[in-house]
Amino acid sequence: MKKILPPHQIIAYGLLLVTLAVNVSMPLFRVYAAQEHLSNGQTALVLAAYITGMLPCYIFLGGISDRFGRKPVLLISLCFAFTATLVITLNPTVWALIIARMCQGIALALSMGTGTAYLTEVLQGKIEDAPTKAANLASLSTALGFSGGALATTLYLFYEFTLVPPTYFLLLFVTAVGILLVIYLPNLKPIGGEVIRLPYFPKGSFPVNMSIAICWAATGTVIAIIPTQLAKFGMTAFAGFCLVLINWTGAFTQPFIRKMNPVKSVIIGYFLIPTGFLFVIIGCHFQQIAIILFGTFIIGLAAYGYSYVGGLALIANYGGQQRARAVSGYMFFGYIGFGIPAIFLGYLSDMLGIVNALIFFEAVLILLTMLLLRNFRS
């Protein structure tokens, strides 16, 4: 089986499978929640279960693959991804979704750093600049995965509505294949080190860390709240396209953005987020899906493009010898931003209405952007 695919392709495939599992059921989140008559705030809490699975692993188990090896940790993460899909397939309810989201968070937290490091090690000595090639391959695999599952489910729902689309069963099959392939990967000797590696926040990193926090807050809001608004004018299934645009537009512009000055890249991202979110609000108010999709396109340029790439480069530079821990701190801000504001806005939308809550968030985004730009430039 080792001759079928080279190791780096199997590892990239594993990362793709983990990220496919994260959002394969996303177009049905609001449907599952509506069955139990959950409010927007309660739905956002369900989605945040993803963060409760991710953050403890991400913060306290950052060195687990260094200590115990890349292969076993990647294998465990794939098993969690398989379990997440299996749970929602067997029991398509919002309560099962909570368990699935926690498993998805654990799978993602264990696989991201592990997969990139594993790719670097299997490519080392075979190609030039292995770390960069590994990071690019990991970025491409995860970008395709985060949106690919949601897109596949969305497209099927246009054909036929069901609580358990065939994409769930297909993902279970290909994930099982992925688990078998990973079993045959080379088991490289662990490099050793501490399992617990707390995040590090170097001097000057706060404006950059906050830039990714507000970017991912916008994406979390789109995922948690916008589907409810889309449902009001019969376009729930388009939620999957929103996620595709958020992930793919940024990811596929990364090669171009990497050539830019990272400071300039982050500054561009600061302006893109409130601009994109404004289009989302206008689209929601006038019930125009094209405007909403254009807004998510702009948000994606920052969230997984300009702000993400530029911020990552700056943080790695600020971190010096503590680069890995500094990047963990950067991702920590990002995932806090992804989960917490969406919960608050979910409950706020229950009280004021979705569009009014989004307008409030837009005002906060503009204020934060002005303050952060001032600190960032000084």
Question: Whose CA is closest to 332, among 318, 349, 315?
Answer: 315
Residues of the chain whose pLDDT is less than 50?
A: 1-2, 378
Rounded to whole angstroms, the Cα distance separating 223 from 377 reads 31
Q: Amino acid identity, residue 82?
A: F
pLDDT tens column, 59-86: 777 777 778 888 999 999 999 999 999 9
- What is residue 124's three-state secondary structure? strand
Rounded to whole angstroms, the Cα distance separating 9 from 11 reads 5
pLDDT tens column, 97-145: 999 999 999 998 888 778 878 888 888 877 777 776 777 787 778 878 8
Average pLDDT of the chain? 86
CB 225 within 8 A of CB 345: yes
1-197 shares its CATH topology with 199-378: yes
- Where do the structural domains in the chain lie, given as residue ranges? 1-197, 199-378
Secondary structure element (H or E) that encloses residue 211, with its range? helix 206-224
Determine the topology of domain 1-197 in CATH.
Answer: Growth Hormone; Chain: A; (1.20.1250)
Nearest-10 crossing angle of helices 40-60, 206-224: 140
Phi (first) and psi of residue 77, to 5 degrees: -65, -40
Confidence (pTM): 0.85
CATH architecture of the domain with range 199-378: Up-down Bundle (1.20)
**What was the pLDDT predicted at 121?**
84
Report how far apart, in Å, the C-alpha atoms of 188 and of each of 17, 77, 108, 123 are.
Answer: 22, 17, 21, 12
Phi (first) and psi of residue 127, to 5 degrees: -140, 160
